[in-house]
């Protein structure tokens, strides 16, 4: 049986990791991809084969056997994945992890593997930290102290109360990161990210690791409120009322999942189960993380 490669969720640390906070990323197995030689005609198959063929022709990655990859493409290879593109769940990261495992030489050393994976993912994003494919490659939750100091969790985290809200709207990461970098030129925004948001992210990560749901909600609420006040461009218009309702009621919180702007929004409640939240957030698809 061919190995599967999961989607990735950046649970905490979006943007603030660029300002020195910790971050927490984890594999998401409800969405994944794997290699296939199935020759049934489909849009997904044709798009995957087109992308992989372009990768072979254009990639400068020296860490994988492009000749062998090209031979398999001639035999009908494609990457069969249900990870949606442009939703912040690492669709390209899963492909890169699969390429590295099948055609590369994994080093079993974080810095080397992350560097190789980042260089390969540059093909899709122009510039990459390598974090997305590394999560899919390691297939364990990662606590990122810095891009050069990553801790792999051997045990799963308690994700009860966390859910994804589908905005139904794809987005591109690059333009959103550019907006953030422009906002960082504002001293008030920069100071707030460092002194308020980054600290709340670190506290939230610690609370999750310690399985402290009350403090976790408290810190997630402050993250949600800060993003509401300072990241309006990243919150889709259609979800703004729901976002503010969570802040005001204290029944749940919504926060960015990755870059924001669309894709999935991350939600959390320590009061209501998923079915109750589905009633509260009627009209939106919710997916539990637990």
pLDDT digits (tens, 9 = 90+) for 102-116: 998 877 777 788 888
Containing domain of residue 110, as a range?
5-152
Do 169 and 262 form a contact (C-beta atoms < 8 A)? yes
Q: How far is residue 286's CA from residue 162's CA, in Å, rounded to a whole number?
A: 10
Q: How far is residue 110's CA from residue 113's CA, in Å, rounded to a whole number?
A: 5
Give the model's pLDDT for residue 17.
85
Average pLDDT over the chain, rounded to an integer = 90
For 225-284, the pLDDT digits (tens) are 999 999 999 999 999 999 999 999 999 999 999 888 899 999 999 999 999 999 999 889
Query: Domain for residue 193, yes or no?
Result: yes
Where does residue 166 fall: left (phi above 0), alpha (psi -120 to 50 degrees), or beta otherwise? beta
Q: What percent of the chain has pLDDT over 90?
A: 66
Question: What integer is the mean pLDDT of 183-198?
Answer: 91
Q: Are residues 144 and 167 in the same domain?
A: no
Do 289 and 163 form a contact (C-beta atoms < 8 A)? yes
The residue among 266 and 150 whose pLDDT is bigger is 266
Question: What integer is the mean pLDDT of 69-83?
Answer: 96
DSSP 8-state code for residue 193 = I
Q: Are residues 126 and 192 in the same domain?
A: no
Q: Are residues 9 and 147 in the same domain?
A: yes
Question: In 10 A of CB 256, how many CB atoms?
Answer: 22
Q: Are residues 94 and 173 in the same domain?
A: no
Residue 126 has pLDDT above 70, yes or no: no
Question: What integer is the mean pLDDT of 31-58?
Answer: 93
Query: Domain for residue 131, yes or no?
Result: yes
Question: What integer is the mean pLDDT of 163-182?
Answer: 88
Query: Domain for residue 85, yes or no?
Result: yes
Give the model's pLDDT for residue 172.
80
Question: What integer is the mean pLDDT of 142-150?
Answer: 85
Q: Are residues 126 and 22 in the same domain?
A: yes
Of 30, 7, 3, the C-alpha closest to 94 is: 7
Residue 127 has pLDDT above 60, yes or no: no
Query: Domain for residue 157, yes or no?
Result: no
Q: Are residues 29 and 125 in the same domain?
A: yes
Q: Are residues 179 and 128 in the same domain?
A: no
Give me the numbers of helices (H) and strands (E) for the chain, helices first please.
11, 9
Query: Domain for residue 45, yes or no?
Result: yes
Query: Domain for residue 245, yes or no?
Result: yes
Count the domains in the chain.
2
Of 170, 126, 162, the C-alpha closest to 254 is: 162
C-alpha angle with apex 33: 30 to 35, nearest 5 degrees? Answer: 155
Do 56 and 70 form a contact (C-beta atoms < 8 A)? yes
Q: What percent of the chain has pLDDT over 70?
A: 97
Give the model's pLDDT for residue 12.
95
Question: What integer is the mean pLDDT of 124-136?
Answer: 75
What are the helix (H) ranges across the chain?
A: 43-58, 66-74, 91-103, 110-125, 131-138, 173-183, 187-192, 198-209, 213-230, 240-249, 274-280
| End-of-domain residue from the set 96, 120, 152 | 152
Give the model's pLDDT for residue 15.
87
Q: Are residues 109 and 50 in the same domain?
A: yes
Please report which helix (H) or strand (E) contains residue 287, including its range. Answer: strand 285-288
Q: How far is residue 276's CA from residue 103's CA, in Å, rounded to a whole number?
A: 46
**What CATH number does residue 238 fall under?**
3.30.70.890
**What CATH number does residue 68 fall under?**
3.30.230.10
Of 203, 217, 204, 210, the C-alpha closest to 271 is: 217
Q: Are residues 18 and 55 in the same domain?
A: yes
Query: Domain for residue 134, yes or no?
Result: yes
The residue among 110 and 99 whose pLDDT is bigger is 99
Give the model's pLDDT for residue 128.
57
| pTM over the 0.85 mark | yes
């Amino acid at each position: 049986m061919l190995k599967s490669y999961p989607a990735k969720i950046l649970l905490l640390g979006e943007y603030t990791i660029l300002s020195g906070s910790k971050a927490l990323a984890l594999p998401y197995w409800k969405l994944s991809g794997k290699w296939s030689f199935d020759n049934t005609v489909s849009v997904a198959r044709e798009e995957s084969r087109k992308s992989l063929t372009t990768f072979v022709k254009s990639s400068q990655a020296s860490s994988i056997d492009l000749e062998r990859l090209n031979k398999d493409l001639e035999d009908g290879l494609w990457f069969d994945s249900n990870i949606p593109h442009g939703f912040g769940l690492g669709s390209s990261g899963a492909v890169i992890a699969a390429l590295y495992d099948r055609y590369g030489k994994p080093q079993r050393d974080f810095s080397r593997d992350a560097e190789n994976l980042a260089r390969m993912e540059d093909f899709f994003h122009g510039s990459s930290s390598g974090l997305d494919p590394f999560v899919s490659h390691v297939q364990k939750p990662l606590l990122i102290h810095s891009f050069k100091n990553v801790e792999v969790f051997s045990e799963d985290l308690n994700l009860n109360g966390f859910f994804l809200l589908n905005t139904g709207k794809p987005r591109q990461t690059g333009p959103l990161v550019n907006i953030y970098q422009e906002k960082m030129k504002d001293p008030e925004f920069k100071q707030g990210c460092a002194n308020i948001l980054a600290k709340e992210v670190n506290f939230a990560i610690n609370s999750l690791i310690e399985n402290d749901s009350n403090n976790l909600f408290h810190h997630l609420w402050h993250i949600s409120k800060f993003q509401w006040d300072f990241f309006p461009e990243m919150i889709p218009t259609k979800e703004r009322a729901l976002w503010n309702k969570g802040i005001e009621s204290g029944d749940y919180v919504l926060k960015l999942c990755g870059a924001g702007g669309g894709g999935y929004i991350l939600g959390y409640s320590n009061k209501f189960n998923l079915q109750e939240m589905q009633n509260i957030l009627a009209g939106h698809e919710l997916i539990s993380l637990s």
